[in-house]
């Protein structure tokens, strides 16, 4: 049995996520919520047979019970997320946060999703696109040996960075650096983002540098990186290692490329893809557990 | 005149300038009458990283060491959104920084809104710094400059990060900015000497209405260095301009302080000429030389490939990546010919 879900936010991320969710074995997207009646995302959602509202989360709330909505993806903005989440949690809806608000714990599916499902979290945050692309690599090294410092450089095509990212670029660097520490397992984290306007647009590139406390165990790290990549490829097939791991003293560097599926934005926008795919993967694992009766959601405070 | 030795020069020194060297050089520039001196990691506040290089000291340590010694000169700091954040900006202000320069690639001005708005609110001298300006036509640069102006920048820079521009292009871009921006908004030009155009380009910029010119004494900067400031000052002197800068003292600073501290001569060698010729970000120079040595690939080829891939400022991570790609290609070619 699929779990009914609502998509909050009808921009690039929400729309891309809708196409992915429509193919899911565990998630059934029922509603898309926007604030602009003219938005392309809402039109696309109607075409796909979803119910829509342009009155924000308040337009959805009266329908939660009758449509048995158990999960919601929030792809709006950090400013409104807390309020959206509160209203949804109150009604027993689990919220997967794709904004940089990060009021819930960070979730990078291949690293710590099972932990969150076990704890029955009601709000999990997807860090950032750069975080989803790089934290698995930091974790691949840190599960072999202690990482004293993890640094990531995410380069995305200018066309794939929307106004939200641009206005809040500091939130990207802050949230991603913190995810590199908390989920990636580096003692200290740093994140850098570059927007490149080249035409044709470049496919998302990510560089990951780890400084290990002791001399890196090259063989174990190569193996760990390869198996981590295979795990990520289960939900992002276009995730690949272009070069590396390069070993230079205690430095371990991986050069990644993330090509998207091209569901809504073109394939170069791997940054959007890895975010939406990770969010869906997260929802699916929760959904699987709900369907199996292993966990059940309850209204906050109830 | 705005000196870059202690920021752009950090690239040429692999970010290894000591606190004593910083203080000695800044003090001498101040005594020579240079009104504004930049002090930051080469890649701006928060640039300390594997990607760009870890500096000998933190930005904060440099700023706190230098600022109390300044009699007349003011200190500026550079900030690249995506690398540095508003926390760095607040730290710089707390250290006594007078001018903040918020730098973005020339097409991406809208990522500077948070930082420019805050700097202006904090009543700092706030500069919008449009890098790699050779990659964009004049009307489009103006549109980006207007964004920065609308966020609160009181000065806009046209920045020739690759040392690619020739004087006609500088004149055209500065004129379009002068005509299109508010009359009270100042203009600046930042050159690199990769094609030996630093002084000529700076003169063209002044002619077209630039109020501020960046340079560095003895050219200590990325690539073949910045516009050599003592040369530019001497030229202005000969032209009868009153600059307030003592040309002879500036020459002494170059000869007695800057040149002796250089790790290698900052000059137009083959690689830095390629930067200018192919339009590649000047700070890539030493990173490319290092990656070339490590992986056995000519640095000149790495730089040309970086130009082809339209890399922009900040993408230092692509240098080793490109070197590894070229190495694969070399091995393939060697394998197929064997």
Say yes or no for a CB contact (<8 Å) between B312 and A197: yes
* Stated pTM of the model: 0.94
Q: Distance (Å, rounded) from C-alpha B48 to C-alpha A211?
A: 14
* Matching residue, tokens 């198996």: A227
* pLDDT for A110: 95
* Cβ(A199)–Cβ(B314) below 8 Å: no
* pLDDT for B239: 96
β-partners of residue B104 are B130
pLDDT digit string, tens, across residues A217-273: 999 999 999 999 999 999 999 999 999 999 999 999 999 999 999 999 899 999 999
* Cβ(B181)–Cβ(B143) below 8 Å: no
pLDDT at A294 over 80: no
* pLDDT for A129: 94
Say yes or no for a CB contact (<8 Å) between A192 and B51: yes
Please name the CATH architecture into which domain A129-268 falls: 2-Layer Sandwich (3.30)
Structural domains in chain B, CATH included, are: 2-261 (3.20.20.70), 283-337 (1.10.8.60)
Q: Distance (Å, rounded) from C-alpha A124 to C-alpha A101?
A: 10
Say yes or no for a CB contact (<8 Å) between A167 and B113: yes
Q: Which residues, at least 6 apart from A226, have a Cβ–Cβ distance to it below 8 Å?
A: none
Shortest CA gap A212–chain B (Å): 13
* pLDDT for A299: 58
Q: Distance (Å, rounded) from C-alpha B268 to C-alpha B286?
A: 13
Q: Which residues, at least 6 apart from A295, have a Cβ–Cβ distance to it below 8 Å?
A: A117, A120, A286, A289
Two tokens, residue B57: 């000291």
Q: Largest Cα–Cα distance of chain A, in whole Å?
A: 60
**For each of chain B's 338 residues, which pLDDT tens digit applies?**
999 999 999 999 999 999 999 999 999 999 999 999 999 999 999 999 999 999 999 999 999 999 999 999 999 999 999 999 999 999 999 999 999 999 999 999 999 999 999 999 999 999 999 999 999 999 999 999 999 999 999 999 999 999 999 999 999 999 999 999 999 999 999 999 999 999 999 999 999 999 999 999 999 999 999 999 999 999 999 999 999 999 999 999 999 999 999 999 999 999 999 999 999 999 999 999 999 999 999 999 999 999 999 999 999 999 999 999 999 999 998 886 55
pLDDT at A117 over 90: no
* Matching residue, tokens 């049995």: A1
Percent of chain A residues topping a pLDDT of 70: 98
Residue of A146, A133, A139, A224 whose CA lies nearest to A184:
A139
Cβ-based contacts of B113 with chain A (< 8 Å): 166-167
For β-strands A204-212 and A251-258, DSSP reports them as antiparallel
Cβ-based contacts of A169 with chain B (< 8 Å): 81-82, 111, 114
CA angle, residues B260, B264, B270, in degrees to nearest 5: 140
Among B49, B59, B80, B82, the residue to mutate for chain A (most A Cβ within 10 A): B82
Radius of gyration of chain B (CA): 19
Residue A232, classed as helix, strand or coil, is: helix
* Cβ(B210)–Cβ(B204) below 8 Å: no
Cβ-based contacts of B86 with chain A (< 8 Å): 170
Average pLDDT over residues A119-130: 93
- To the query of whether residue A107 is one of the catalytic residues in this protein, the response is no
Cβ-based contacts of B110 with chain A (< 8 Å): 163, 166-167
Cβ-based contacts of B83 with chain A (< 8 Å): 173, 192
Two tokens, residue A132: 């989803």
Q: Distance (Å, rounded) from C-alpha A141 to C-alpha B174?
A: 49
Q: Distance (Å, rounded) from C-alpha A75 to C-alpha A88?
A: 14
Q: Distance (Å, rounded) from C-alpha A236 to C-alpha A275?
A: 10
- The H or E element that residue A136 is part of is helix A129-142
Shortest CA gap B306–chain A (Å): 12
B312 touches A: beta carbon within 8 Å: yes
Two tokens, residue B290: 């290092």
pLDDT at A295 over 80: no
B234 touches A: beta carbon within 8 Å: no
Q: Distance (Å, rounded) from C-alpha B227 to C-alpha B200?
A: 9
Residue of B29, A167, B156 whose CA lies nearest to B9:
B29
pLDDT digit string, tens, across residues A55-99: 999 999 999 999 999 999 999 988 899 999 999 999 999 999 999
Q: Distance (Å, rounded) from C-alpha B32 to C-alpha B17?
A: 21
* pLDDT for A302: 36
B69: DSSP letter: G
Is residue A292 very low, low, confident or very high in pLDDT (cuts 50, 70, 90)? confident
Straight-line distance from the first to the last Cα atom of chain A, in angstroms, rounded to the nearest whole number: 25
Is residue A301 very low, low, confident or very high in pLDDT (cuts 50, 70, 90)? very low
Q: Distance (Å, rounded) from C-alpha B62 to C-alpha B18?
A: 9
Q: Which of A194, A244, A253 is closest, CB to CB, to B82?
A: A194
Say yes or no for a CB contact (<8 Å) between B111 and A163: no
B287: phi then psi, degrees, rounded to nearest 5: -65, -40
Q: Give the CA-trace dihedral at A174, A179, A185, A189, to 10 degrees.
A: -20
Q: Which of A149, A197, A207 is closest, CB to CB, to B105?
A: A197
Two tokens, residue B48: 């300390």
The CATH classification of domain A3-126+277-291, taken from the options 3.30.70.2190, 2.40.110.10, 3.20.20.140, 3.40.50.720: 3.40.50.720
Is residue A38 very low, low, confident or very high in pLDDT (cuts 50, 70, 90)? very high
* Cβ(B193)–Cβ(B162) below 8 Å: no
Q: Which of B107, B309, B317 is closest, CB to CB, to A197?
A: B107
* pLDDT for A164: 77
Is residue A162 very low, low, confident or very high in pLDDT (cuts 50, 70, 90)? confident
Q: Distance (Å, rounded) from C-alpha A48 to C-alpha A18?
A: 9
β-partners of residue A196 are A157
Average pLDDT of chain A, as a whole number: 94
* pLDDT for A271: 94
Residue of A156, A252, A193 whose CA lies nearest to B46:
A193
Two tokens, residue A197: 């306007």
pLDDT at A163 over 90: no
Q: Distance (Å, rounded) from C-alpha B49 to C-alpha A149?
A: 10
* pLDDT for A86: 96
Q: Which candidate in A129, A193, A232, A275 is catalytic?
A: A129
The 10 Å Cβ neighbour count of residue A83 is 13
Q: What are the residue ranges spanned by the domains of chain A?
A: 3-126+277-291, 129-268
Among A128, A186, A190, A192, the residue to mutate for chain B (most B Cβ within 10 A): A192
Q: Distance (Å, rounded) from C-alpha B4 to C-alpha B99?
A: 13
* Matching residue, tokens 């320069």: B101
Q: Distance (Å, rounded) from C-alpha A173 to C-alpha A153?
A: 10
Q: Distance (Å, rounded) from C-alpha B324 to C-alpha B313?
A: 20
């Amino acid at each position: 049995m699929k779990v009914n879900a609502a998509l909050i936010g009808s921009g690039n991320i929400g729309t891309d996520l809708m196409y992915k969710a429509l193919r899911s074995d565990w998630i059934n997207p029922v509603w898309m919520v926007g604030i602009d009646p003219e938005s392309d995302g809402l039109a696309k959602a109607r075409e796909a047979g979803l119910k829509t509202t342009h009155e924000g989360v308040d337009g959805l709330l009266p329908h939660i019970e009758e449509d048995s909505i158990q999960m919601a993806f929030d792809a709006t903005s950090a400013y409104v997320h807390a309020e959206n989440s509160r209203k949804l949690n109150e009604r027993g809806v689990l919220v997967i946060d794709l904004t940089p608000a990060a009021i819930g714990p960070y979730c990078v599916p291949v690293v710590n999703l099972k932990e969150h499902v076990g704890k029955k979290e009601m709000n999990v945050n997807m860090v950032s696109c750069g975080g989803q692309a790089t934290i698995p690599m930091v974790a691949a090294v840190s599960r072999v040996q202690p990482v004293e410092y993890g640094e990531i450089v995410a380069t995305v095509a200018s066309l794939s960075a929307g106004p939200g990212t641009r206005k809040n670029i500091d939130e990207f660097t802050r949230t991603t650096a913190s995810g590199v520490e908390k989920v990636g397992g580096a003692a200290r984290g740093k994140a850098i983002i570059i927007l490149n306007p080249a035409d044709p647009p470049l496919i998302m590139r990510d560089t990951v540098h780890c400084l290990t406390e002791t001399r890196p165990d090259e063989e174990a790290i190569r193996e760990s990186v390869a198996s981590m990549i295979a795990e990520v490829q289960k939900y992002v097939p276009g995730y690949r290692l272009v070069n590396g791991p390069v070993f230079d003293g205690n430095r371990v560097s991986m050069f990644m490329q993330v090509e998207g599926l091209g569901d809504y934005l073109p394939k170069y926008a791997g940054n959007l893809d890895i975010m939406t795919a990770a969010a869906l993967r997260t929802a699916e694992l929760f959904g699987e557990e709900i369907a199996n009766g292993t966990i059940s959601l309850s209204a906050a405070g109830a | 005149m705005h000196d870059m030795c202690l920021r752009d020069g950090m690239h040429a020194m692999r970010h290894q300038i000591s606190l004593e060297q910083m203080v000695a050089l800044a003090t001498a520039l101040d005594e020579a009458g240079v009104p504004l001196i930049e002090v930051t990691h080469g890649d701006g506040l928060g640039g300390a990283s594997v990607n760009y290089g870890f500096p000998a000291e933190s930005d904060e340590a440099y700023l706190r060491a230098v600022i109390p010694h300044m009699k007349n000169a003011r200190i500026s700091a550079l900030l690249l959104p995506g690398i540095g954040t508003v926390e760095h900006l607040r730290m710089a202000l707390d250290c006594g920084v007078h001018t903040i320069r918020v730098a973005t690639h020339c097409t991406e001005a809208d990522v500077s809104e948070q930082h420019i708005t805050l700097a202006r609110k904090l009543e700092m001298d706030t500069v919008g710094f449009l890098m790699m300006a050779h990659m964009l036509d004049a009307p489009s640069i103006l549109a980006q400059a207007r964004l920065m102006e609308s966020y609160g920048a009181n000065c806009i820079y046209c920045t020739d990060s690759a040392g690619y521009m020739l004087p006609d292009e500088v004149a055209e871009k500065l004129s379009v900015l002068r005509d299109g921006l508010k009359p009270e908004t100042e203009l600046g030009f930042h050159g690199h000497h990769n094609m030996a155009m630093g002084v000529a380009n700076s003169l063209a910029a002044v002619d077209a209405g630039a109020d501020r010119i960046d340079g560095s004494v003895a050219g200590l900067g990325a690539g073949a260095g910045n516009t050599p400031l003592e040369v530019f000052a001497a030229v202005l002197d000969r032209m009868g301009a009153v600059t307030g800068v003592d040309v002879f003292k500036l020459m002494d600073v170059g000869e007695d302080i800057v040149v002796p501290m250089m790790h290698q001569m900052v000059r137009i060698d083959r690689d830095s000429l390629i930067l200018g010729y192919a339009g590649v970000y000047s700070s890539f120079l030493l990173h490319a030389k290092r990656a070339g040595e490590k992986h056995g690939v000519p640095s000149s080829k790495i730089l040309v490939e970086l130009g082809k891939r339209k890399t922009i400022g900040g993408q230092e991570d692509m240098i080793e990546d490109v070197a590894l790609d070229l190495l694969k290609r070399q091995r393939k070619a060697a394998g197929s010919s064997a």
